[in-house]
Copies of this chain bind each other. A is one copy, B any other.
Amino acid sequence: MNMPSRQRMTRRDLLAMIGTAAGGSVMYQAATSLGYAAESGFKGPPGLSGAPKGTSVLILGAGVAGLVAAYELGRAGYKVQVLEYRDRPGGRAWTLRGGDEYTELGGYTQKVGFDQGHYLNPGPWRIPYHHRAVLHYCHELGVTLEPFFQVNYNAYVHSRDAFGGKPQRYRHVMADFHGHVAELLAKLGHKGGLDAEVSREDKEKLIEAMQDWGALDENYAYKASPLTSNRRGFEKDPGGGLSGEPVPSKPIDFSQLLQSGLWRAIGTGSGYEFQTALFQPVGGMDQIPRALAAQVKDKITYNAKVTEIAQDGGGVTVSHVDAQKGGAVRTDRADWCLCTIPLSILSQIPKNVSAEMDAAINAVPYEAALKIGLQFKRRFWEQDEEIYGGITYTDLPISVIGYPNSLYGSKGKGVLLGAYPWGPFAYEFAAMTPEERVRKAVEYGAKIHPQYPKEFDTGVAVAWHRVPWTLGCFGVWTEQSRAEHYQNLCQIDGRLLLAGEHASYLPAWQEGAIASSLDAITRLHQRVIAK
């Protein structure tokens, strides 16, 4: 584990606010600092021309990495077979709907009670505009996308210790943070306090920019006025006729705002992965793997639990049993094997790989993360609070409340993402029964939305450390482990090579999984045709 420095602790606080809490988020932050969490280098589907006829590839796992490999290798003329542990494609690109059953490690089975049209994506839930590989396959296969709001100015930022625990509107915190900073800099500029730092010409532009960006008045003050209310919102909103005169709102005091720490939420929406435009597939994230799987459906064997991977000079033999019924061991053999099984699972499967790859497979711990979906009888966040989509950030153990980015304004029910903590908070939740997790999420959420207890209908909780087929959410790299093991993890090892988000610079993202898969099959193809 990467120990946080004092400054990292500060950043961790931010990450707690954005729903990536505590220990895990530190690792994530470390990863982010190393640049692992940003845009894909996807330049289009791979050129795999000239594949030797009859060359076979056995793909382990029908998540997006495995599916893309099967799709592209199949199109290039390779003989492809996919073994998948579960009875459906997608892996962590998973959508839970009413009627679904899910049994976690320890034996608890949840039957999802959501109404038709509502769902929870326990895994990936958003697609940044620069995740080109994901978008490419969505566009190519006709997966319809709709916008996903990360930032909603009318949602809340919340800290137990600030403003008496009362949630604040994002727009208030953001406008006032910008405004007070602008006022301070403009004031310093006028007093000569910037003269040692910037040229006279730049100082003048800077003061002009502060006035403009910060909504400062003609005296460069940030204070209650129609001008600042046109950023942060009004006390009484403008209307029409004789009753419509507006009343400006009063900014939060700068000192109070600084001490509250709520400014930690403000940088979030500016993050490269959270900038507009962000998307989600209409109907649930599993629309992507479903569309891919439809292209290769005769090539996938479901319910196949891999029990051993044995390679020799001529190929790879994979043993597997029926994941649900057990029974006799079956084997499949191919010239090559692309393994996309999470390292958390792969590390437990007998296999003959080089010592270097084996060490790499064992070097990557998996993040704990938890998602709870809560269905409510009515969409009170829209009806009572005018929050349409987006995210509320809190330092409560639930970390976030995510509002549905679909069915806006509909009169029926709605499903919120009721919790999405990482690290310690996720472990804390995972230690409870699913029912307790849901109950706690309702209890915590009620501190932000008092409507929770009355309107709660049904919920489901997925703790990734208890998901039998991944035992964690995603592979966590540190600067050190990446330097030591990443190349060894990605190299072709005899007749075996790996792909998945764990074999990428974009951990946890589908883009990383697909990018790693395309990189792997391109290298495999080059090896094959070079023979």
Residues in chain A within 8 A of chain B (CB atoms): 5, 7, 10-11, 14, 32-42, 129-130, 132, 135, 138-139, 145-147, 149, 151-154, 171, 174-175, 177-178, 181, 184-185, 187-188, 193-194, 197-199, 201-202, 205-206, 208-209, 211-215, 218, 225-227, 229-234, 236-246, 248, 254-255, 258-259, 261, 263-264, 266-267, 270-273, 275-277, 279, 386-390, 405, 408-411, 487, 490-491, 499, 503-506, 512-520, 522-523
Cβ contact within 8 Å between B234 and A409: no
**Smallest CB separation, A434 vs chain B (Å):** 31
Contacts of A261 in B (CB 8 A): 205
Cβ contact within 8 Å between A505 and B245: yes
Cβ contact within 8 Å between A226 and B34: yes
Contacts of A241 in B (CB 8 A): 490, 499, 503-504, 515-516, 518-520, 523
Contacts of A244 in B (CB 8 A): 41, 504-506, 512, 515-516, 519
Most buried by B among A132, A201, A241, A512: A241
Q: How far is the CA of A14 from the CA of B208 in the complex (A)?
A: 11
Contacts of A254 in B (CB 8 A): 198, 202
Name the one of B194, B214, B233, B270 contacting A175, with C-beta atoms under 8 angstroms: B270
Copies in the complex: 2
Cβ contact within 8 Å between A243 and B41: yes
**Smallest CB separation, A25 vs chain B (Å):** 13
Q: A246-B35, A259-B201 known; A230 and B139 CB under 8 Å? A: no
Contacts of A277 in B (CB 8 A): 149, 152, 154, 388-390, 408
Nearest-neighbor residue (CB-CB) of A520 within chain B: B241
Query: What would be 27 A-B contacts, judged by CB atoms less than 8 Å apart?
Result: A7-B218, A33-B226, A35-B229, A38-B234, A41-B237, A41-B238, A41-B243, A129-B386, A132-B386, A139-B411, A147-B149, A153-B276, A175-B270, A181-B181, A184-B197, A212-B263, A212-B264, A212-B267, A231-B270, A238-B506, A240-B505, A242-B487, A242-B490, A242-B523, A244-B505, A244-B512, A246-B505
Cβ contact within 8 Å between B275 and A153: yes
Nearest-neighbor residue (CB-CB) of A209 within chain B: B263
Name the one of B37, B177, B390, B499 contacting A230, with C-beta atoms under 8 angstroms: B37
Q: A129-B388, A388-B277 known; A11 and B212 CB under 8 Å? A: yes
Q: How far is the CA of A330 from the CA of B523 in the complex (A)?
A: 81
Contacts of A215 in B (CB 8 A): 267
Contacts of A193 in B (CB 8 A): 188, 193
Q: How far is the CA of A32 from the CA of B409 in the complex (A)?
A: 28
Cβ contact within 8 Å between A234 and B39: yes
4 tightest A-B CB contacts, nearest first: A241-B519, A35-B226, A240-B516, A39-B237
Cβ contact within 8 Å between B243 and A519: yes
Q: Known pairs A149-B276, A152-B277, A277-B390. 15 more at Cβ < 8 A? A: A38-B230, A39-B234, A39-B246, A40-B238, A41-B244, A129-B153, A138-B409, A145-B408, A206-B258, A215-B267, A240-B505, A240-B517, A241-B490, A241-B515, A276-B389
Contacts of A504 in B (CB 8 A): 238-241, 244
Contacts of A7 in B (CB 8 A): 211, 218
**Smallest CB separation, A302 vs chain B (Å):** 25
Cβ contact within 8 Å between A409 and B184: no
Contacts of A240 in B (CB 8 A): 40, 499, 503-506, 512-520
Contacts of A248 in B (CB 8 A): 35
**Smallest CB separation, A492 vs chain B (Å):** 10
Cβ contact within 8 Å between A409 and B233: no
Q: How far is the CA of A379 from the CA of B187 in the complex (A)?
A: 46
Nearest-neighbor residue (CB-CB) of A512 within chain B: B240
Cβ contact within 8 Å between B276 and A212: no
